[in-house]
Structure 1
Amino acid sequence: MSRLDSMLRRLTAQRDGLSWAAQQIADTPGDVLDMGLGNGRTYDHLREILPDRRIWVMDRVLQCHPSCIPPAEDFLQGEAEPMLSELVKRGARIALAHYDFGSGIKADDVKESARLSPMIAAAMQPGALIISGQPLVGFQQIAGPETIAPDRYLFYRA
């Protein structure tokens, strides 16, 4: 598979997975967390499919498209560990999280996602959903939409 085809497959899985998750949490109270703002595409999609939810966003730097800048009070800038601690300190209870941190080096990304998993868990309310491109630990892995290959995107319940 070409890198372009792989990217298209990943983006389609991400969009479809988030849309599926938004339906799954329709009756679950809580906020949304987007870990890894990047260009802002995922954040923009979350705003569209979950317009009545507070969406927390975190990233090392704010370098997204100007139309995707989150409100200052919802953006946590810095390294993941202190930002996750800050989220918990602010009393956020997350119903849906999207994990999109990564360097593109699989071994490093898997190691980081495992290290951050307990901190992510501290912010999640029981039964919350986590959608991730990387494996997480300490969560119950569940099946996502049938249209998404099991190895392409991962779905977890807190």
Structure 2
Amino acid sequence: MSRLDSMLRRLGAQRDGLNWAADAISDLLGDVLDLGLGNGRTYDHLREILPDRRIRVIDRALNCHPSCIPPEADFLQGEAEPMLTQLAREGAQFALAHYDLGFGVKDQDVAEAARLSPYLAAVMAPGGMVVSGQPLVGMTQLQGPDTIAPDRYLFYRA
């Protein structure tokens, strides 16, 4: 499979997974967390499918498209661990989180996701959902929508 085909498959899975998870949390209270703003495509999609929810964002740097800049109060710039720790101290409870942090090196990305999993779990509302491009630990893995190949995107219930 070409890298282009792989990217298209990943983006389709991400969109389908976020839509599926948004429907699944419709009766839960809590905000939304986007871990890894990147260029802002996912954040923009979350704004569209969950217009009544506050969306908090964590990333090392603000490098997104100008139309996708979160409100200043909702953007936490820095490393994920201290930002998640701060959110936990504030009592934040997220009904949905999207985990898309990484360095682009699979082994490092998997290790980082495992290390950050307890911090993410600490800010999830009971029954909240996590949509992730990396395997997480300490949460119940779910089977996502049928449109997504197994292990392409991962789904968890807190």
Shorter-chain TM-score range:
over 0.9
Matched residues in 2 for 1:140 and 1:43: separation?
A: 24
Q: Give the Å deviation of 1:89.
A: 2.0
Find out whether 1:73 has 2:79 as its counterpart.
Answer: no
Number of residue pairs aligned between Structure 1 and Structure 2: 158
Matched residues in 2 for 1:106 and 1:87: separation?
A: 27
Other-structure match for 1:7: 7
- Summarize the alignment of residues 33-112 of structure 1 with structure 2, pairs less than 5 Å apart: 33-112=33-112
Identity %: 74
DSSP-derived class of the 1:136 partner: coil
Instruction: Provide Cα deviations, 1:15-70, integer angstroms capped at 9, x if missing partner.
Output: 01000111001111100000000000000000000000000001000010000000
Q: Give the Å deviation of 1:126.
A: 1.1
2:57 partner letter: V
Q: Runs of 5+ in structure 1 lacking a partner?
A: none
Q: Give the Å deviation of 1:11.
A: 0.3
DSSP-derived class of the 1:88 partner: helix
Q: Give the Å deviation of 1:92.
A: 1.3
Runs of 4+ aligned structure 1 residues displaced above 2 Å come to none
> Superposition RMSD on alpha carbons, in Å?
0.6
Q: Give the Å deviation of 1:103.
A: 1.2
Other-structure match for 2:145: 145
Matched residues in 2 for 1:36 and 1:86: separation?
A: 17
Matched residues in 2 for 1:80 and 1:151: separation?
A: 23
DSSP-derived class of the 1:6 partner: helix
2:108 partner letter: D
DSSP-derived class of the 1:130 partner: strand
**Structure-2-length-normalised TM-score:** 0.99
Other-structure match for 1:131: 131
Matched residues in 2 for 1:134 and 1:144: separation?
A: 14
Matched residues in 2 for 1:50 and 1:100: separation?
A: 18
Q: Runs of 5+ in structure 2 lacking a partner?
A: none
Matched residues in 2 for 1:6 and 1:107: separation?
A: 19
1:53 partner letter: R
Find out whether 1:16 has 2:16 as its counterpart.
Answer: yes
Find out whether 1:25 has 2:25 as its counterpart.
Answer: yes
Other-structure match for 2:115: 115
Matched residues in 2 for 1:68 and 1:91: separation?
A: 26
DSSP-derived class of the 1:20 partner: helix
Matched residues in 2 for 1:90 and 1:77: separation?
A: 16
Q: Give the Å deviation of 1:90.
A: 2.2
